[in-house]
Structure 1
Amino acid sequence: MKIGKKTPQHWDFARDDRFWDVRTPSAFRKIEPGDDIFFWLSGARVFQSWVRATSSLYPIGSNARPAHWIDVDGGGYTHRFEFEVVSEDVAHPAAWNELEAAAGRNYAPPAPANPINEPAAEEFLRARFGHQLDIKFTNVPVAYALGEDMRERSERQITLRRGQARFRNELIGAYAGTCAVTGSTVTSVLEAAHIDRYFGDHTNHVTNGLLLRSDIHTLFDLGVLTISNSLTVQLAPWLRESEYRPLHDKPIHLPSDESNRPDLEALARHRQTCEWS
């Protein structure tokens, strides 16, 4: 994804706003939630950041949040996609031709965006980055404070519920952006659920997690939904008479990489906390 060389500050605006606006949607129509996107600065051809899309491309409506872009021609932006930042730590800078060598093909540097479908090129880009963000909001006030930005407060609370960003990003990658229980692929409502309760960063391991839709995450944490040893959904008896009934005994969606699949012993410990089980 190209950042214009005359407006390098647009990345700073995008990082704060957590969205990117485009004038011509054609090059961006295939963006889907969960896609990894890498921004680079035109002219210098320097990679700036790695983000993950949380929405597909959509038209900018009259009630859309205002952007902070600086354009001599006034902008003319028509479409937008939203994202969360994975990393800005470019630990291993690379030249454009190195990316092309990894992909085994040529890209078009002047283009607004270059779709990358080659696994080797994707791995090359991820390897350019070091530290991934692990945002923690430890002090979320319960009471409203006069003058508080309610949108910012809401976003802090959503981030807290979702779980730490790096852990969630790893689960999104492992589960291909799909809720393990419902099959939902709406990234904005998918959360990082710990199987064994969170006791520090050492518990933030993919095998100790499930990617769950927000309501399923709540039921899992409350111990009224659990996962059997045969990796099927088990509901508390009273939930089997609710709208969640179709989920009972349903096999869960698993990561394709077996090393990322949930720890059976951790799942057994979770079941032991469910008094009805």
Structure 2
Amino acid sequence: MTSWIVKIGKGTPQHWDFARDDGFWDVRQPGFFRRIEPGDDIYFWLSGTGLLSRVRATSALYELTPGSRSAHWIDRDDGGYTHRFDFETISEVPQRSLTWGELKREHGRNYAAQAPANEIDGPVAESHLRSLFDNRSDIAFASLPLPDDTQLEYSPGYTHGDDLRERAKREIAARRGQRRFRQSLLVAYEHSCAVTGSNVESVLEAAHIDRYFGDHSNHVTNGILLRADLHTLFDLQMWTVTDLLTIEVSPMLKRSEYASFDGRPLRVPANPRQRPDRAALGRHRKACQWTTQNA
């Protein structure tokens, strides 16, 4: 196996977010990319910034066809993309930053700064790159399909009908550690709470719709960006979302300041692929026993 550094242009930093969420990288000139094989480690580098992520190729380079899944590149309308390779993200947590010059000196290699890809030659250089990343997963899975009901029923630690409230109390303290999940929701919801519209980023949190049962729960459609208090109340089943994407507040909150949110439309992302999963919302609503009592 070989390792690679793939460059992202300084003018299109969003391309890493798109690539991470889609799970693939498109190229215009195959060149060195033709030598990428499944299992190769690839390090994305943003020009002018440094290392962004470590991923692992899950396919060799292949040619795009009219039936290939659409990408979200900023410059996609310019055309010219001809090939693609798929990958899985390993880490987005660089342990330290370094310049291109420092990288060349530490590896003793004259890597080409303008090249779209540089092959990393030698086990010492490969080991050095791996050491620059935390291997703990902290990833938002935006292209992985959400599990269906049967899969969820047998997922470890996840059973339909469980009382979410006790679990929610344990998770409230830990949720801010889900860094990439939160970041993906900040982007999707344009840094604003889906209920209040608040744009005070320090109080915005990533709320899971289906409860967290592992990294694969961190799918952008399994989340809503919420102000911290509304996140807590959502986890505690004190409000939910209807089939019409409006907010329904528990009778226990009807005499509180939260009563004003009842019937308010939920703000959803402009991108349909980032909107809350309707089936997951239905499961949350069903878990709120007061909705059945009110029916």
TM-score (norm 2): 0.45
